[in-house]
Amino acid sequence: MSAATSRAGRPGFVWVAPALAFFALFALVPMVVVVFLSFTAYDGLNPPQWVGLDNWARLGADPLFAESLWLSFGLTAASWVLQTAVALPLGVWLARRGRTRAILAAIFFVPLLMSSAAIAVLWGTLLDPNFGLAGVLGPLVGIADGNVIGNSRFAFAAVVLVIGWQYMPFHTLLYQAAARAIPVQLYDAARVDGAGRWRTFVSITVPQLRDTIITSGVLIVVGSMTTFEVVLILTEGGPGTATRILPLHMYLTGFRSFDMGYASALAVVLLVLGTALSLLIARVTGYRKMASQREGL
């Protein structure tokens, strides 16, 4: 083998160049631009004007910013709890073979095939208080007039549930794949030791799924912090501002009010928060260490 070919076989800078170029063009450059715009007043029509820290000072005075930030945190926490609580057991259950499970799995994964817009429109129709399902089921759960998305107490729960409905199948899929990878010997050994189903689930399945729980958690956290299309179509942040999460606040400020400067400041906050949260999860959980859970196998 000649020296030239052996060098070509090694990963060099040229190999990452295309990916780097794409990343720079579609991720880094927009990030730099949005940071720049956050220091300007810009309506899209007139050239951006440097206003220093004005937009950043406005964050403190904008009651909608604080409200939308808390709503986003709330959405993230609720989504994580709900989606994990459903996807983990469901994924583990679907991991075992069987015709019933296969058929049910195919049905559970249907939302994965639908676009966010279609899901939001579908649920908007189902949640119509007069002609939709909300009018029929509402009275059974104490909402006599079926007013779910028009009620500031229930609208947020509806958003969490619809987003959960959309993404749970994906996380179920992650858990299903991960559960199938758990060595069967562990279960055999546990059975010999007399462990029951619950004990096996808690002591073997969950610890073995640790990395998947973290991966799925990071995806849910980052996804919930930045999601917005379902909320835009389903409630448009309403009633009033009851579901105006941070990304939606950013969108409405930028593309409805044409206040791009302040919207850019909101975007930077989102960017920093999303990154910080996922780093925090990785650090707290020790995900980075990639410690093996299969020592001795």
| Binding test (CB under 8 A) with other proteins, winner from 31, 35, 41, 43 | 43
Which is nearer to other proteins, 155 or 186 (by Cβ)? Answer: 155
Rg (the chain; Cα; Å): 24
Taking the least distance from each CB to other proteins, the nearer of 111 and 237 is 237
Contact region for other proteins (CB under 8 A) — 6-14, 106-114, 143-151, 286-294?
143-151
* Cβ proximity to other proteins, 127 vs 178, nearer residue: 127
Compare residues 155 and 182 and give the one whose CB is closer to other proteins.
155
Minimum separation from the CB atom of position 49 to other proteins (A): 12
The residue (of 266 and 273) whose beta carbon lies closer to other proteins is 266
Identify the residue among 235, 243, 245, 246 touching other proteins (CB under 8 A): 235
Would you state the torsion angle of the CA atoms of residues 115, 112, 222, 158, taken in this order, to the nearest 10 degrees?
70
Total residues in contact with other proteins, by rule CB under 8 A: 34
43 or 211: CB nearest other proteins: 43
Which tokens in the block code for residue 129? 């208080």
236 lies in the binding site for other proteins (CB under 8 A): yes
Q: Shortest distance, CB of residue 223 to other proteins, whole angstroms?
A: 24
Exactly one of 145, 188, 286, 291 binds other proteins (CB under 8 A); which one? 145
Among 8, 20, 117, 152, binds other proteins (CB under 8 A): 152
Q: Is 115 in the site for other proteins (CB under 8 A)?
A: no
* CA distances from residue 127 to 31, 75, 118, 185 in whole angstroms, order as listed: 37, 19, 14, 48
* Amino acid found at 59: L
Cβ 56 to other proteins shortest distance, Å = 18
Instruction: Assess 128 for contact with other proteins (CB under 8 A).
Output: yes
Cβ proximity of 179 and 205 under 8 Å: yes
Q: Does 200 bind other proteins (CB under 8 A)?
A: no
- SS3 letters for the chain? CCHHHHHHCCCCHHHHHHHHHHHHHHHHHHHHHHHHHCCEECCCCCCCEECCCHHHHHHHHCHHHHHHHHHHHHHHHHHHHHHHHHHHHHHHHHHCCCHHHHHHHHHHCHHHHCCHHHHHHHHHHHCCCCCCHHHHHHHHHCCCCCCCCCCCCHHHHHHHHHHHHHHHHHHHHHHHHHHHCCCHHHHHHHHHCCCCHHHHHHHHHHHHCHHHHHHHHHHHHHHHHHCCHHHHHHCCCCCCCCCCCHHHHHHHHHHHCCCHHHHHHHHHHHHHHHHHHHHHHHHHHCHHHCCCCCCCC
One symbol per residue from 238 to 267: x for binding other proteins (CB under 8 A), - otherwise; what is it? xxxx----------x--xxxxx--------
Shorter beta-carbon distance to other proteins: residue 173 or 232? 232
Footprint of other proteins on residues 44-63 (CB under 8 A)?
A: 44-46
Residue 17 C-beta: closest distance to other proteins, Å: 31
Report the residue from 16, 22, 81, 125 that binds other proteins according to the rule CB under 8 A. Answer: 125
Binding site for other proteins (CB under 8 A): 43-46, 121, 124-125, 127-131, 134, 145-152, 235-241, 252, 255-259
